Amino acid sequence: MTSTEAGLVGVDGCKAGWIAVQRTFGMAPSVGVFATFTALLASLPENAVIAVDMPIGLPDFSGKGGRGPEALVRPMLGARQSSVFSIPSRAALYADTNGFTTIEAWYAAHVRASEVALTTSDPPRGVSIQAFGIFAKIREIDALLIARPDLRGRVYESHPEVAFCRLNGDQAMQLPKKIKGSINPAGMAERKALLCRHGYEKGFLDQPSPRGAATDDFLDAAAMMLIAGRIAGGEARPFPDPPDRDSFGIPVAIWA
């Protein structure tokens, strides 16, 4: 399948669920927000190739630096490598799957996940708050790929900063997207300029993000769509190459 034959979709997690930038052949890109990944899939053509900024494939035991893909891509990113979280074992991801109605319950669940992670990693390592914050979304995709093996050839893990690096001739972005949790306009402008060099109209990228998604979520999803095109066209590279497999047979690799 070529990138002109497939629907291309780039996805990032956001506050309201999932933000998706998508394009079909001959059409301008569009952006939307979906409450669940299942709802997103239901809106897409069956041949759509999807690149998503979310870890896919979970280890039974986590080594130094997290999963293999994370350890491989960090050296590419220089000062941006802290954007690649270390993902712990499957057991840690599923240590507490309850909904959290209070902040105290949320922190207690983080403690439980860290306790499991410590016993399923070498060197022993807990779970960062940032990584724990995306556990529910990791589980959402994981459950889909376990239940529907056909999706494993359509839904691919990527990472925005790895994507920007690869799209920039293997040169990492010079400026951060955020500084102390706030949007860095110069960093966003650097990424918008790169996306425009790869075919986006500036007006599309300058539009307000959909309700429930942040500006950086929008740009990350736009970068993911370009990676979906590279995957469909046979240009993307997996890290590692070939991909690993987890205990369910799900591929484990960051594509860019």
Tokens 């995957």: give the residue. Answer: 231
The tally of CA atoms less than 13 A away on the side-chain side of residue 55 is 27
Task: For residue 186, give both structure tokens.
Answer: 């110069």
- How confident is the model over 87-101, as pLDDT tens digits? 999 999 999 998 888
Residue 118 Cα to chain centre, angstroms? 24
- How confident is the model over 185-241, as pLDDT tens digits? 999 999 999 999 999 999 999 999 999 999 999 999 999 999 999 999 999 999 999
Indicate the fold that domain 1-84+138-256 takes in CATH. Answer: Nucleotidyltransferase; domain 5 (3.30.420)
List of residues 6+ apart from 252 with CB closer than 8 A:
56, 57, 58, 59, 67, 68, 69, 243, 244, 245, 246
Please give the helix or strand (H or E) that residue 223 lies within, else none: helix 215-232
